[in-house]
Amino acid sequence: MDIVFLRDLRIETVIGIYDWERKIKQTVVLDLEMSTDVSRAAASEDIADALDYKAVTKRMISFVEESEFQLVETLAERCAGIIREEFDVHWVRLTLNKIGAVSAARDVGVIIERGEHF
């Protein structure tokens, strides 16, 4: 299994359970690891044979910016589902960091893995 990764993707969105959070945009940070087989793309040098990380990035930005979930768990689950379904990814590890959610901590969030390694 090969992995295509994307780190430190910062997106502004409405996220949170408190009334004040529902009125502002906050930054969430996504880190993605997605299983794929890069050998076909490496041989052909054709983006059609690759997991197009730019397309994944654009889709994540569009989805997250438009979302208004209360929980980071829900946002993470939906993002992982989109990646697996729309980009034919069998396994994804997604880290969603809600910077500043806890004043005494630099980072807070969730890490989820969905699917199976091949």
How is the chain classified by DSSP, letter by letter?
A: -EEEEEEEEEEEE---SSGGGGGS-EEEEEEEEEEE--HHHHHH--GGGS--HHHHHHHHHHHHHH---S-HHHHHHHHHHHHHHHTT-SEEEEEEEETTSSTT-S--EEEEEEE---
Q: Is 98 a catalytic residue?
A: yes
**Distance separating alpha carbons of residues 27 and 99, to the nearest angstrom:** 7
Structure tokens at 30: 């996504």
Q: In terms of residue numbers, what domain contains 26?
A: 2-115
Does the pTM exceed 0.75? yes
Total tally of structural domains belonging to the chain = 1
Structure tokens at 66: 């438009």
On whether the CB atoms of residues 93 and 36 are closer than 8 A, the answer is no
**Distance separating alpha carbons of residues 59 and 83, to the nearest angstrom:** 9
CATH number of the domain within which 32 lies = 3.30.1130.10
pLDDT confidence of residue 100: 83
On whether the CB atoms of residues 60 and 2 are closer than 8 A, the answer is no
For the chain (118 residues), the mean pLDDT of every run of 10, in chain order, is: 96 96 96 96 95 97 98 98 96 95 89 88
**Distance separating alpha carbons of residues 111 and 29, to the nearest angstrom:** 12
pLDDT confidence of residue 118: 62
23, 25, 58, 98: the active-site residue: 98
